[in-house]
Structure 1
Amino acid sequence: MKAVTVIPGVPESLRLRDVDKPKPGNGQVLLRPIRVGVCGTDKEIIEGKYGKAPPGSQYLILGHEALAVVEELGGGVDNVSVGDVVIPTVRRPVNCNLPVDYCPMGHYVEHGIWGLHGHAAEYSVTDAKYLVKVPKELVDVAVLTEPLSVVEKGIDVAMSIGRARFDWKPTNALILGAGPIGLLSTMVLRLMGLSTVTVATRPPDSLKARLVRDLGGTYVDAALTSVEGSFDIVVEATGSPQVTVDGLRHLAPNGVMVLLGVYPPGGSISNLGDLMTDSVLNNKVIVGSVNAGVKHFEMGLRHMADAKDRFGDWLSRLITKRATLDNYQEAYSWTHEDVKTVLEINPL
């Protein structure tokens, strides 16, 4: 079968490779991937900055944002059936008794990222207990579930922390970044009834700006306008240390900041002491989210259904580029105008 692969640690080793078709073991299923989303993590792996091949393999099959059909059941599987359309979660525990999305580094493997082959292939295998069934009416957009699950977890944790302290009722939110994570964060917070301001560096007439406004949110072009005011929730989705610091300055007393980026080393903060003292005196909280479990995948699917009811085809408009295995390289090239790229593998 054909699979999109890299040699981790070797920049620009991306290639379409003929590999053996996998077989499901006990508790596993064979999947026939329909489509796979592409994100910044794939870019870092292709650039040789991250990633790990499975034991005994020289290469890693990419693809952690997958929509697939169950093709074959391994032994002992009774929670799904052949023909079900499913989303596989990403992370699997290794010597960890915590919920899998809270296992520390070194105690998990991840499909298409770290020590476990992904789904950018004609077939893949995964553990059945980590599958989430997809309602028929969401199949067209369900490839967005994995990035949405990360958003769901971050916002859910933020809400839980706020309510644990007192009867916290946030009314507004600032979202930093208008990539897929920033836009999905805007969607979730708008569905929750919060007033939102989303900040990015694309022009006011860009697709990303229009997508924000079509949710009833306010878009700010950071190249033209500064953000004013304070916000109960701040979601950071750029991966920029400086933007993160600026966002913390806009966090209201008792507010919660959610970090959804992965940040490069370096950076500096002026007046760090004042910023820390302000956070202490005003009971501010910072939380991070980079991975999610079944609960937040299911939460994401429910919000997708609500979004279709309220915002029509908004979710499908996030998918701005499609490629196939025949021209797979196109899926792994990025521009500032792209929102979400998907690799179409097998027709449903």
Structure 2
Amino acid sequence: MRALTVRPGTSGTARVDELPDPVAGGGELLVEGLALGVCGTDREIVAGEYGWAPPGRDRLVLGHESLGRVRQAPDGSDFAAGDLVVGVVRRPDPVPCGACGHGEFDMCRNGRYTERGIKEIDGYAAQLWTVETGYAVKLDARLADVGMLMEPATVVAKAWEQVDRIGARSWYEPKRVLVTGAGPIGLLAALLGIQRGLDVHVLDRVTGGPKVDAATGLGATYHSGPVADVAGRLQPDVVVEATGAASVVVDAVGNTASYGITCLTGVSTPGRRISVDAGAGNREIVLDNDVVVGSVNANLRHYRAAAGALAAADLDWLRSLITRRVPLERFADALTAHPDDIKVVLTLAGGR
């Protein structure tokens, strides 16, 4: 089988390798890889900025936004040949910490977790892969050409769960949400906001193109003005921040309605400094009972929620998020960001 591999920590080492076909062990599925979503984490790994190879090896099979079709399933499992599946990314640490021991491995406290295609376990950028049945999630068969959106959808399913749980500390009846960033995470966060019946607003820098079309096609209101102006006018009850841009974070946090909740999902680049009046920010958060929470990764509960959200979504709208489909042999093109990209997908052309 062919697989996209990289030497973590060394840029320019990504290549398509011919590897032995995997053999499913007890309690594992053998899966034909159909497609793989590409994200910023993959680009960071290929650039040598991030990532860990499996113990005793120097190369890692890339990819965590999986989509595949079951070829072989263990007897007595909930899976059968032909099922559409994705593989969960993270695995709990072996100790385990309290969170991992309770199935909340997305909240691991000691950092000893592992992740497919990122940290010490091969990923899903392969024409064949195996996955434990307990870390595979079945998708609606209708999602065969968009199911690789599942993993980013789990990120926002968790974010919304965090928002709902925090809101439940008191009376909670949100009306308006502002999503900052119209990439895959932002647009999928907007999708879940629409599915909750909220008045959804999406803000990004672009003034036209597929991001604007996707936001408005969803039924959200699109904005491209300064964050402080837009958020100050809207006074959103909830902000889902998906850019990681420091100035956007500060302006979003500072312009929610009273008892507002800001969920940060974008990872900021360190070293970029801005001037912030921390005293004024603290005063506002305290006096308004505001909450700022970070959210990353997902556990099995969030995968199930994301599968439901995608199954309930308009398929044509989901397809509009995939702006480029690139064959495996042209992986370098897929890993190069284009201005109008939302989600780029590698097609794996089936295992043998």
TM-score tier after normalising by the smaller chain length: over 0.9
Question: Aligned with 1:268: secondary structure?
Answer: coil
Shift of 1:275: 0.3
Shift of 1:224: 10
Q: Match of 2:336? A: 333
Q: Aligned equivalents of 1:34 and 1:270: distance in 2?
A: 46
Q: Match of 2:316? A: 313
The superposition leaves residues 180-219 of structure 1 with CA deviations (integer Å, 9 ceiling, x where unpaired) of 111111111011111122111111x321112111122111
The answer to whether 1:268 aligns with 2:269 is no
| 1:254 aligned residue (247, 253, 259) | 259
| 1:232 aligned residue (237, 245, 270) | 237
The answer to whether 1:244 aligns with 2:243 is no
Map 1:48-63; keep pairs closer than 5 Å. Answer: 48-63=48-63
TM-score (norm 1): 0.93
Shift of 1:104: 2.8
User: What is the RMSD of the two structures over their aligned residues, measured on CA atoms?
Assistant: 1.9
The answer to whether 1:156 aligns with 2:199 is no
The superposition leaves residues 140-164 of structure 1 with CA deviations (integer Å, 9 ceiling, x where unpaired) of 221101001100110111011101x
Shift of 1:281: 1.3
TM-score (norm 2): 0.92
CA contact (8 A) 2:23 2:130 kept: yes
CA contact (8 A) 1:256 1:286 kept: yes
Q: Which shifted more, 293-302 or 331-340?
A: 293-302
Q: Match of 1:6? A: 6
The answer to whether 1:283 aligns with 2:282 is no
Q: Aligned equivalents of 1:346 and 1:219: distance in 2?
A: 36
Q: Match of 1:193? A: 197
Q: Match of 1:34? A: 34
Q: Match of 2:219? A: 216
Shift of 1:325: 1.8
Q: Would you say how many aligned residue pairs link Structure 1 and Structure 2?
A: 342
Shift of 1:301: 1.9
The superposition leaves residues 95-140 of structure 1 with CA deviations (integer Å, 9 ceiling, x where unpaired) of 2213222223522110101111001011112221011111112222
Q: Match of 1:79? A: 78
Q: Aligned equivalents of 2:294 and 2:71: distance in 1?
A: 35
| 1:206 aligned residue (204, 209, 220) | 209
Q: Aligned equivalents of 2:339 and 2:285: distance in 1?
A: 34
Change (3 A) 1:226 1:152: same
Q: Aligned equivalents of 1:51 and 1:66: distance in 2?
A: 17
Q: Aligned equivalents of 1:255 and 1:185: distance in 2?
A: 17
Percent identity between the two aligned chains = 37
Map 1:16-31; keep pairs closer than 5 Å. Answer: 16-31=16-31
Shift of 1:246: 1.0
Question: Aligned with 1:273: secondary structure?
Answer: helix
Shift of 1:340: 0.4
Q: Aligned equivalents of 2:210 and 2:85: distance in 1?
A: 29
Q: Aligned equivalents of 1:346 and 1:119: distance in 2?
A: 13
CA contact (8 A) 1:154 1:287 kept: no
Question: Aligned with 1:342: secondary structure?
Answer: strand
Question: Aligned with 1:36: secondary structure?
Answer: strand
Q: Aligned equivalents of 1:239 and 1:327: distance in 2?
A: 29
| 2:345 aligned residue (334, 342, 347) | 342
Question: Aligned with 1:337: secondary structure?
Answer: coil
Q: Aligned equivalents of 1:235 and 1:286: distance in 2?
A: 10
Specify the code of the residue in structure 1 equivalent to 2:176. Answer: N
The answer to whether 1:123 aligns with 2:128 is yes
CA contact (8 A) 2:32 2:350 kept: no
Change (3 A) 1:77 1:120: farther
The answer to whether 1:144 aligns with 2:149 is yes
Q: Aligned equivalents of 2:349 and 2:293: distance in 1?
A: 38
Question: Aligned with 1:67: secondary structure?
Answer: strand
Shift of 1:222: 3.2
Following TM superposition, the consecutive aligned residue runs of length 4 or more in structure 1 with deviations greater than 6 angstroms are none
CA contact (8 A) 1:323 1:330 kept: yes
Q: Which shifted more, 267-276 or 148-157?
A: 267-276
Shift of 1:71: 2.2
Specify the code of the residue in structure 2 equivalent to 1:169. Answer: E
CA contact (8 A) 2:227 2:251 kept: no
Specify the code of the residue in structure 2 equivalent to 1:198. Answer: V
The superposition leaves residues 220-242 of structure 1 with CA deviations (integer Å, 9 ceiling, x where unpaired) of 11379931321110111011122
| 2:114 aligned residue (102, 109, 112) | 109
Question: Aligned with 2:237: secondary structure?
Answer: strand
Specify the code of the residue in structure 1 equivalent to 2:239. Answer: V
Q: Which shifted more, 83-92 or 18-27?
A: 18-27
Shift of 1:41: 0.6
Q: Aligned equivalents of 1:209 and 1:326: distance in 2?
A: 31
